Amino acid sequence: MRDAAPQTIYLKDYTPTPYDVAHVALDFTLHPTATRVQSRIAFTRVRAEDLVLNGEDLILKSLRVDGAEVSHEVSETHLTIPAAHLSGAFTLEVEVEISPQTNTALEGLYMSGGMYCTQCEAEGFRKITYMYDRPDVMAPYEVTINADTPVQLSNGNPTAPGCWTDPHPKPTYLFALVAGDLVATTDHFTTMEGREVTLNVYVRPGDEGKTDYAMDALKRSMKWDEDVYGRPYDLDVFNIVAVDDFNMGAMENKGLNIFNSKYVLASPETATDTDYAMIEGIVAHEYFHNWTGNRITCRDWFQLCLKEGLTVYRDQQFSADMRSAPVQRIKDVLQLRARQFREDAGPLAHPVRPEAFVEINNFYTATVYEKGAEVIGMLRTLVGPAAYDAALTLYFDRHDGQACTIEDWIQVFEDSTGRDLSQFKRWYAQAGTPHLTVTDDFKNGEYTLHLKQKTKPSAGQPDKAPQVIPIAMGLIGADGTEVLPTQVVEMSEAELTLRFELDAKPIPSLLRGFSAPVILETEQSEADRLVLLAHDTDPFNRWEASTLLAKSNLMANLTAGSAPATAWLDALTKVITDDTLDPAFRALVLALPSEDNLANACDAAGIVPDPTAIHTARKAVHLAIAQHMGEALPALIAATETPGPYSPAANDAAKRSLRAQLLRLQTRLDGGTMARTAYDAATNMTDQLAAFGCLLSAGDTKVAAAFEAQWRTDRLVMDKWFAMSVAEADPDDTVAVATALTQHADFDWKNPNRFRSVIAGMTAMNPAGFHHPSGAGYRFLADWLLKLDALNPQTTARMSTAFETWRRYDVDRQALIQEQLARIAAHPGLSRDTAEMVGRMRDA
């Protein structure tokens, strides 16, 4: 335990430091258990207060101020030098010893697969040396690395072997160091300003054949940020390093991005189309942080969405440009609903800009990231694309080199557009997803739409005020023709009435492109949805109509055992066989809402969800679709073939995604015959994994061993094998299967990717197994959380959110979950991270 009594940090308490930092010089002598870090930090006194620096798990060896020893105090978390010893400008020289080998939290300097690497966001630098470990203290860095490793990297430009200079002032969280036996793939990029940049992707020997796509994605990202945002790169080198042990996806350290190897390494045989798309999006995300995050950073961690919301928004725009914009939007909204709406509806709900935290690592959430990105999208919709571009230019001009707040961001939009955005700011302050309820009426040639907005109370926020909601909408005639093309209506009061002069009652197509992160509640009939599915000019709402139809048919099966409506099955078949539609769009139409989504739908409808029944209903409806499409399936599957060499680009990936859905349906009918053929014929991981899932779901007993034998030595493919084995297990066997897998020789639970494969393979991919009425799933999760917490609090705390939906379930399940949460909370030495999360989940 790091603190005896964990403290809550408040936004309102922000105060600048009493000392400025002008320069940081670091000298590392690397050793697995006794690394020496010498720092020379140039300070200037601003206020006559003690110098209090952060520092944890450090052994202080020496300390001098301007060459002289001075009295000081060291606690578990801080170094304090009395103000009396300090005045004007002075240099603090400190030497500490740290032990990267035993650092299992993967924060600070640690080792992964024999290599040294760092992770400093949010507060990892304090485990490297004493410093103001906060984002508003920015300084240029000079770093020397003494090590016998072939490669030594840090931020900025190299000046000599093992020596790096970063001229751009940066906060501690962007510091990085890597040293080890690494091989580089090298390429070049010339910026719009004519700067020649060397690009390297560093990986462990043996992985060098899997870096091409990440490099390609990097070059496209650099070009895109110049073309679309006018932002060039600003150093002579840009390095990416892949590490196997990493808590998150990747990290935007200045000039030295460090990635979870899962988001760098790809070959057609080992990575799926989804992996390729993730690599493209994450490489772009980290690169885009160079301007939105690094050059303009956050004043304090409450402003995290300033960099994350904007950077997610930018990477979504990039992916939309690289691939299909409508498909990208649908996928982004699926994610948003699955993760952020879920978070916003439960005990962990918090505003996009939180006002208090105990452990900042717990606030790298779907709300900060994804809802944060939606807020940017709404702002752009409200002011228009040209005004958005102008505001961004002003943002970069005005704030380059600064640590900023959401107020600064909004001010830029107010100044450049002349608009008052004070009400819009509520999107940053109010937790919870607004419900938008719509009723309509047609009388005497007048069509009225009546809209009401309401947000439910959440922890600490009993009353919510109306928010500014941009509603992109159109109207469709009963025959499918569009009678009103898309227009954006701004709703800012609790209620709004819209009137249209028309000949006949239209079908409203509201929230086109999902123009705001709200829950739309309408009285739309199934017949109207069928018209929208067939005719809406907005692809997002066409897809939305299909999900709503799927959901109502699934709910009818679940609650009344009803067979799916023929009209829906016909409409579905029509879309699937329509060759004019993007196969990726068709695949999304065919994908049924997830089990978790249905559990949420039950909850919203006042029905206590039964995960077992949901699982069964979903299977039954899936079978009905398969039977309805019946004979058409083999020909459809044949039409989705992608001959020739594998290409990860959108066109072929789209076909493969439709193929995977169709093969799932076919497996319901033939018990896996065609999937077996597909499995044997597969020449890429996308096709192989799709067929593998089908075979597992059909109860094939041999395929798991064959897959394992083929891929035993590839750790990223084996992560998929672990995850799929749990995900596809029968709910009654899930915990047994997962338990057996945790006893597998290759189950390295200290590796976050492997841990997540098995644990989230159950909690996220097999909800009926996780929520098994025996409570075995809950116990299994709690056991593993307690085990990992002692080593890696950050990943443990994140994984504990599997429990966040407990309130939805029946009293028996609630009691079983509460029992596990209580057991975790009572565990001696529980980390601050996990204690905060479990506490928030229990309190609510």
Binding site for ligand PHE (CB under 6 A): 119, 121-122, 248, 250-252, 285-286, 308, 364
Nearer to ligand PHE, 288 or 341 (CB): 288
φ/ψ (deg, to 5) at 673: -60, -50
CB neighbour class for 334 (10 Å; exposed up to 12, middle 13-18, buried from 19): middle
Q: Can 286 be counted among the known catalytic residues? A: yes
Please identify, using beta-carbon distances, which residue of 273 and 308 lies nearer to ligand PHE.
308
Q: What residue 343 binds from Zn ion, ligand PHE, none (CB within 5 to 8 A, per partner kind)?
A: none
234 or 286, CB closer to ligand PHE?
Answer: 286
Nearest distance from residue 295's CB to ligand PHE, in Å?
15
Provide the angle, in degrees to the nearest 10, between the axes of the packed helices 372-383 and 385-399.
120
What angle in degrees, to the nearest 10, is found between the helix axes of 304-322 and 372-383?
70
The β-bridge partners of 38 are 27, 95
Distance of alpha carbon 215 from alpha carbon 192, whole angstroms: 19
Number of CB atoms found within 10 A of residue 435's CB: 15
CB 753 to ligand PHE: min, Å = 14
- Applying CB under 5 A, the site for Zn ion has a residue count of 2
Q: How far is the CB of 100 from ligand PHE (least distance, A)?
A: 17
Give yes or no for a cis peptide into 122 (omega within 30° of 0). Answer: yes
Query: In the chain, count of helices (H) and strands (E)?
Result: 29, 30
> Is the CA virtual torsion 2, 5, 11, 17 positive or negative?
negative
Instruction: Provide DSSP, 691-750.
Output: HHHHHHHTT-SSHHHHHHHHHTT-HHHHHHHHHHHHHTS-TTTHHHHHHHHHTSTT--TT
Contact 526, 549 (CB under 8 A): yes
Cβ proximity to ligand PHE: between 285 and 380 the closer is: 285
Residue with tokens 């109509």: 545
Chain positions 413 to 472 lying near Zn ion, rule: CB under 5 A, are none
Residue 676 interacting partner from ligand PHE, Zn ion, none (CB closer than 5 to 8 Å by kind)? none
Give me 57's structure tokens: 């798990």
Site string for Zn ion, 284-313 (x = CB under 5 A): ------------------------x--x--
* 269 residue type, one letter: E
> CA-CA distance, 268 to 689, in Å (whole number)?
12
User: At its nearest, how many Å lie between ligand PHE and the CB of residue 279?
Assistant: 14
The secondary structure element, H or E, covering residue 303 is none
171-210: contacts with Zn ion (CB under 5 A): none
Residues within window 307-346 making contact with Zn ion, judged by CB under 5 A: 308, 311
* Residue 416: contacted member of Zn ion, ligand PHE, none (CB under 5 to 8 Å, by partner type): none
- Choose the contact partner of 328 out of ligand PHE, Zn ion, none; CB within 5 to 8 A by kind: none
CB nearer Zn ion, residue 252 or residue 544: 252
Q: Which is nearer to Zn ion, 308 or 344 (CB)?
A: 308
- What span, in angstroms and rounded, lies between the C-alpha atoms of 295 and 170? 8
Answer with the entry of Zn ion, ligand PHE, none that 126 interacts with (C-beta below 5 to 8 A by kind): none
CA distances from 604 to 345, 599, 820 (A): 10, 9, 25
Query: Which of Zn ion, ligand PHE, none is residue 294 near (CB under 5 to 8 Å by kind)?
Result: none
DSSP element (H, E) containing 377: helix 372-383
CA dist 327 and 771 (Å) reads: 32
Any idea what DSSP says for residue 204? -
Q: Smallest distance from the beta carbon of 169 to Zn ion, in angstroms?
A: 20
Which of ligand PHE, Zn ion, none lies near 237, with the C-beta cut-off 5 to 8 A by kind? none
Residue with Cβ nearer ligand PHE (174 or 476):
174
Q: How far is the CB of 289 from ligand PHE (least distance, A)?
A: 6
Q: How far is the CB of 282 from ligand PHE (least distance, A)?
A: 7
Find the residue with minimal CB distance to ligand PHE. Answer: 248
Report which secondary-structure segment, H or E, holds 84.
none
The closest of 694, 680, 682 to 269, measured between CA atoms, is: 682
Q: Which residues pair with 514 in a beta bridge?
A: none
Burial tier of 11 (Cβ tally within 10 Å: 0-12, 13-18, 19+):
middle
Q: Which is nearer to Zn ion, 311 or 792 (by Cβ)?
A: 311
The half-sphere exposure of 698 on its side-chain side, counting CA atoms within 13 A, is 24
Kindly tell me which of 202 and 780 has the beta carbon lying closer to ligand PHE. 202
Of 297, 265, 312, nearest to 517 by C-alpha is 312
Which of ligand PHE, Zn ion, none lies near 250, with the C-beta cut-off 5 to 8 A by kind? ligand PHE
Taking the complex as a whole, the smallest distance from the CB of residue 746 to ligand PHE amounts, in Å, to 25
Smaller CB distance to ligand PHE: residue 248 or 663?
A: 248
Q: Which of 271, 287, 292, 364 has its CA nearest to residue 319? A: 287
Total Cβ atoms within 10 A of residue 764: 20
> What backbone phi and psi angles, to 5 degrees, belong to 448?
-115, 135
Could you tell me the smallest distance in angstroms from the CB atom of residue 252 to ligand PHE?
A: 5
| Cα–Cα dist 664/675, whole Å | 8
Q: Which does 719 bind (CB under 5 to 8 A by kind): ligand PHE, Zn ion, none?
A: none
Q: Which does 251 bind (CB under 5 to 8 A by kind): Zn ion, ligand PHE, none?
A: ligand PHE
Q: Minimum Å distance from CB 65 to ligand PHE?
A: 32
Residue pair 189/216 in contact by the 8 Å Cβ criterion: no
User: Would you say 308 or 836 has its CB closer to Zn ion?
Assistant: 308
CA distance 394 to 75: 44
From the list 252, 286, 544, 804, the catalytic residue is: 286
200 in Cβ contact with 239 (< 8 Å): yes
Vertex 517, ends 571 and 564: CA angle to 5°? 25
Q: How far is the CB of 285 from ligand PHE (least distance, A)?
A: 6
Burial of 305 (0-12, 13-18, 19+ CB in 10 A): buried
**Token reading at 121:** 């966001």
Residue with tokens 């992560």: 719
Tell me the C-alpha to C-alpha distance, in Å, between residue 504 and each of 446, 449, 525, 542.
8, 14, 17, 22
Shorter beta-carbon distance to ligand PHE: residue 282 or 762: 282
CB of 216 to ligand PHE, least distance (A): 20
User: Closest separation between CB of residue 172 and ligand PHE, Å?
Assistant: 13
Nearest to Zn ion of 257, 311 (CB atom) = 311
Question: What positions carry a catalytic annotation?
Answer: 286
Interacting residues toward Zn ion by CB under 5 A: 308, 311
